Amino acid sequence: MEIRVKKDSILVEGYVNAVARDSKKIHAATGDFIEQVLPRVWSRALRKADDVKLLFNHEEEKELGSIKKGNLELYEDAIGLRVKCRIYDKEVIKEARLNNIKGWSFGFFAKKDKWENLKNGLKRRYLVDIDLTEVSILTVEPAYSGCLAEIRGNNKSEIRYIFDSELEELMSFSEQITYILDLKE
């Protein structure tokens, strides 16, 4: 994810999700699991969506824009769900200047999924078909991590690498905030 900090806005480009890549461990009432979004799921979801909102930390009251409002572009390419957006919210600009933006997440309703039992006792969920409702820029660690976040502004550049590691297993439940709207069919 690259963030360009301007005087009155930030421009964010990158990936909300890379397809066919495991999430971090997700904690749920039914048990822990990891998740993958299959290729072409994003393209189908975007074709079906009337609109997709851009939120801050999944907070409905912190809507930063949407596809319909014209400041959010989403499309699937060979890597995953690509995003480009311009944000004018003062709080989000401040968080970007403080290098507190950690990544992306997404809110959805699962329409079709498949489950696999793994040798380590975990289950893997494959998202086959979803209804995408929102994407969120986060100040907490996302369930799906990218390889890097780059903040640019004022002739400075800072690169912060985000790695999947065994240390993530030690993170508390509150640090692994995951937003999944899942309807049981």
Give the three-class secondary structure for 45: helix
In this prediction, residue 148 carries a pLDDT of 35
Q: What is the mean pLDDT of the chain?
A: 81
Residue 117, exposed/middle/buried by CB under 10 A (0-12, 13-18, 19+)?
exposed
Cα separation, 70 vs 162, in Å, equals: 30
Q: Which pTM was predicted?
A: 0.77
In this prediction, residue 142 carries a pLDDT of 82
Mean pLDDT, 10 residues at a time, the chain of 185 residues: 90 93 90 95 98 96 98 96 96 93 92 96 96 94 58 36 33 31 33
Q: Among residues 111, 109, 106, which one has the least CA distance to residue 83?
A: 106
Q: Among residues 33, 42, 31, 53, which one has the least CA distance to residue 82?
A: 42
Cα separation, 69 vs 76, in Å, equals: 20
In this prediction, residue 145 carries a pLDDT of 64
In this prediction, residue 146 carries a pLDDT of 56
Domains, in order of start, for the chain: 2-175 (3.20.16)
* Total number of residues shown for the chain: 185
- Owner of token pair 């822990």: 32
